[in-house]
Amino acid sequence: MSHADEHELLDLATEVAAEAAPGEQVEAFVGSSTTTSVRVHGGEVESLTQATTSGIGVRVVRDGRQGFAYAGSLDPAVVAEVLAEARDNAAYAEPEDWVGLAEPDGVEPPEVDLWRDELAAMPTDRKIALALELERAVQARDPRISGVRVAQWGDGAGAAAVATSTGIAVAGRSTFCHLSVQALAADGDETRTGYGVSVGRRPDDVDLDEAADDAAERATRLLGAVQPDSGPVTLVLEPQMAAALLGVVAGTLTGEAVLKGRSPFADRVGERIASPLLTLHDDPTDPRSLGADTHDGEGLATRRVPLIEEGVLQGFLHNTTTGRRAGVPSTASAVRSFRTTPGVGAQALVLDPGEGTLDDLVSGVDRGVLVQSMSGLHSGVNPVSGDFSVGVEGLLVRDGALAEPVREATVASTLQRMLLDVAAVGGEREWTPGGTGAAALVIPGVMLSGR
C-alpha cells in the first residue's frame, strides 16, 4: 500500500467499523507513516533509516464498557485478531453512561492542507547533503565549537483514518520535516551544548542557517557559566521555553484532569487564574501551527478552543467521553496514536502576543534569568499540586542587561502563582516544533536556587 493513501486506510477502517454487532459500537483508527532519518557525525553519514510503520487500534463499546486492542500491522488476519481481542477486553471494564464513541456533530472541518508534494519528491541525496551542510555550518560559526553531537535531517509523510459504527468516517494526510543539531562548545575542561532546530511541512520551510545559528550561539554563550547565588529572581522565558510552560499548564486544563480531581484549576471557570496579559487558545484550525489538523483522534472536526482570556479561565479541553460526563460537547481535543485510546490534550496552543522584543523585555528586569533551556520538566513539575521546579541554563539579567551565563541552578514556584504573576508577554510570536505559537514571558517572584 502506498504510504500516503488515506483513502485505502479509510476503506479498511470503515470495513472494521462495519463489523459492529447489534448493541455494539466499533471504532477503527488506522495510521501509516513513512519516515526518513539521516544522522551525520564528523562529516560522514552515521545512519540512514527509511521505513514505513502502519497499524490499527480498535475500540469496542458495549453496554457502557470499553475495550481496546492494537497491532502494528494491517494484515487482515491480524486486524481480525485485534477486533476480537478488543471485544473480549470490553467485557471486563465496568460500565458508565458516558462511555461511548463520537458521533457526527455537524461541525465543518477547517480548510487546512497539511500535505506537501515537494517533500515526497525530495531525493534522499538532498537530505543527506543538508544534514552534512548543517554540521559544517555549525562548526564554521565559531572557533569555540568543538564538535557536533549529532546533526539530523528527519521527515515523515503520514496518513490516518478513523471510522466508527456511529457514522464517523474521516481521513487525512500530512507531511513534516526538520533539521536539528546539538552543538558542543569547549573552553579548557568546560563543555557546553546548544540545540538548534528548524521545522516545516516542506523542504523549503526549513531554515538551515536558523538551526545552525541557534545551536552555535546557545552553546558558546554558556561558556564560563557559574553557579548563581540563591534568591528570588524574574524569569524571562524565550518563546520555546514559554511554550514548554504553557504545555504543562494545558495539561491541567483537560476534562480528564478536571473531572477526576487532578487539576488545580477545576471549578475555576469564569475566575481569574492568570495575569490579564495572558490569553491562550488551543487552535488546531490555525495552519501556521505544526499541530494543525482537520480532525481530532475521534474524527471530529477541530475547532478553536478558548482556554484563558485576559487571565480568566474560559473552559477545558474535552474529548467525547469527558465532554459527555461534563455535560458539554467535545472540543475535538482527542489525541492518540493507533496504539492508544483517545486521551484529551492540546494540539496547537496559541498565546496572544503582547508587546516588545526580547531585548525590550530584558531591559525591564533588575535581577533575573533569561532561560534558554529547562531540564526535569517531567521530574520536578507536579501538574496536580502545581509544584514547579526545573533546572535552567541561560544568562543572568542584571539591571536590565544580559550578564554572565548560569549553570547548575533551578528555578521554583507553583504553576498557579506563575500564571498570576506574568508581568509581560513579548510581541514576537514563534511557532515551535511542538506546534505551539508562543511569545516570551516575564515572570517575577520565582526562587532561583544555586549556591
Partner 1 sequence: MLDDATIQRTLAAALRTGGDFAEVFVEDKRSSSAMLDDGRVEELSSGRDRGAGIRVVVGETTGFAHTADLSEEGLRAAAEAAAAAARSGGGGVREVALTRRDAPRPNGVEVLPETVAKGAKVELLRRADDAARSAGAAIRQVRARYGDSRRRILVANSEGVLAEDDQVRTLFVVSAVAVGDTGMQTGYESVGRTIGFELFDRYDVEQVARTAAERALTKLSARPAPSGTMPVVIGPGGGGVLFHEACGHGLEKDLVDKGASAFAGRLGEQVASPLVTLVDDGTMAEEWGCFAVDDEGTPAQRNVLIQDGVLTDYMWDVLRSRKAGRPVSGNGRRQSYQHLPMVRMTNTYLVAGQDDPDDIVASTERGVYVASLGGGQVNTASGDFVFGMTEAYLIEDGRITEPLREGNLIGNGPKVLRDIDAVGNDFAMGKPGTCGKDGQGVPVGDGVPTLRVRALTVGGTAA
The footprint of partner 1 on residues 131-170 (CB under 8 A) is: 146-147, 149-150
Q: How many CA atoms lie within 13 A of 251 on its CB side?
A: 15
| 361 φ, ψ (degrees, to nearest 5) | -65, -45
409 scored as a contact of partner 1 (CB under 8 A): yes
Q: How far is the CB of 112 from partner 1 (least distance, A)?
A: 27
Euclidean distance between CA atoms 449 and 169, whole angstroms: 53
CB of 383 to partner 1, least distance (A): 9
Q: Which stretch binds partner 1 (CB under 8 A): 18-26, 131-139, 405-413, 423-431?
A: 405-413
Unique residue bearing C-alpha cell 480498535: 58
Q: Pick between residue 37 and residue 363 the one whose CB is nearest to partner 1.
A: 37
The neighbour count for residue 3, using CB atoms within 10 Å, is 18
Residue span binding partner 1 (CB under 8 A) among the ranges 40-48, 206-214, 297-305, 421-429: 40-48
Chain length of the chain: 451
Nearest-CA neighbor of 275 among 242, 232, 241? 242
Quote the least distance from Cβ 59 to partner 1, whole Å.
Answer: 9
DSSP states along 104-161? ---PPPP------HHHHT--HHHHHHHHHHHHHHHHHH-TTEEEEEEEEEEEEEEEEE
Whole-angstrom Cα distance, residue 327 to residue 319? 12
Give me the least distance between CB of 423 and partner 1, in Å please: 18
> Least distance in Å: CB of 362 to partner 1?
23
97 makes contact with partner 1 (CB under 8 A): no
The DSSP symbol for 73 reads -
Site residues (CB under 8 A) for partner 1, limited to 74-93: 75, 78, 81-82, 85-86, 88-90, 92-93
Residue nearer to partner 1 on the CB measure, 106 or 261: 261
CB of 426 to partner 1, least distance (A): 25
**Segment interacting with partner 1, rule: CB under 8 A, options 20-28, 156-164, 207-215, 411-419:** 411-419
Q: How far is the CB of 174 from partner 1 (least distance, A)?
A: 19
Q: Of the ranges 67-75, 164-172, 284-292, 361-369, which one interacts with partner 1 (CB under 8 A)?
A: 67-75
How far apart are the C-alpha atoms of 245 and 355, rounded to whole Å? 19
**Cell matching residue 138:** 555549525
* Region 106-125 residues binding partner 1, contact defined as CB under 8 A: 124
Binding mask 197-236 for partner 1 (x = CB under 8 A): ------------------------------x--xx-----
Between the alpha carbon of residue 420 and those of residues 204, 416, 417, the distances in Å are 40, 7, 5
- The DSSP H or E segment spanning 313 is strand 312-313
**Region from 22-30, 115-123, 291-299, 372-380 binding partner 1, contact rule CB under 8 A:** 372-380
Binding mask 313-352 for partner 1 (x = CB under 8 A): --------------------------x-x-----------
As measured in angstroms, the least distance from the Cβ of 285 to partner 1 is 29
Reduce the DSSP state of residue 225 to 3 states and report it. coil
Residue from 5, 19, 41, 133 in contact with partner 1 (CB under 8 A): 41
Q: Are 350 and 281 in contact (CB under 8 A)?
A: yes
User: Does the footprint of partner 1 cover residue 54 (CB under 8 A)?
Assistant: yes
Residue 363 contacts partner 1 per CB under 8 A: no
Nearer Cβ to partner 1 (70/431): 70
Smallest distance from partner 1 to CB 208, Å: 21
Q: Phi and psi at residue 279, in whole multiples of 5°?
A: -130, 120
Near partner 1 by CB under 8 A: residue from 23, 44, 97, 267: 44
The grid coordinates of residue 377 equal 520538566
- In what order do the strands lie in the sheet containing 349-351? 312-313, 305-309, 280-282, 349-351, 437-438, 430-431
> Site for partner 1 (CB under 8 A): which residue of 33, 66, 322, 436?
66
Residue 141 or residue 303: which is nearer to partner 1 going by CB? 141
- Contact (CB, 8 A) for 417 and 445: yes
Output the 3-class SS for 261-274. CCCCCCCCCCCECC
| Residue number, 69 or 242, with CB nearest to partner 1 | 69
Nearest alpha-carbon partner for 295 in 276, 278, 270, 320: 320
Minimum CB separation of residue 229 from partner 1 in Å reads: 9
Q: List phi, psi (to 5°) of 137.
A: -60, -45
Q: Which stretch binds partner 1 (CB under 8 A): 257-265, 328-336, 342-350, 358-366?
A: 257-265
DSSP string, 385-430: T-EEEEEEEEEEEETTEEEEEEEEEEEEEEHHHHHHH--EE-S--E
Binding span for partner 1 by CB under 8 A among 158-166, 255-263, 301-309, 329-337:
255-263
Closest approach, Cβ 363 to partner 1, in A, equals 27
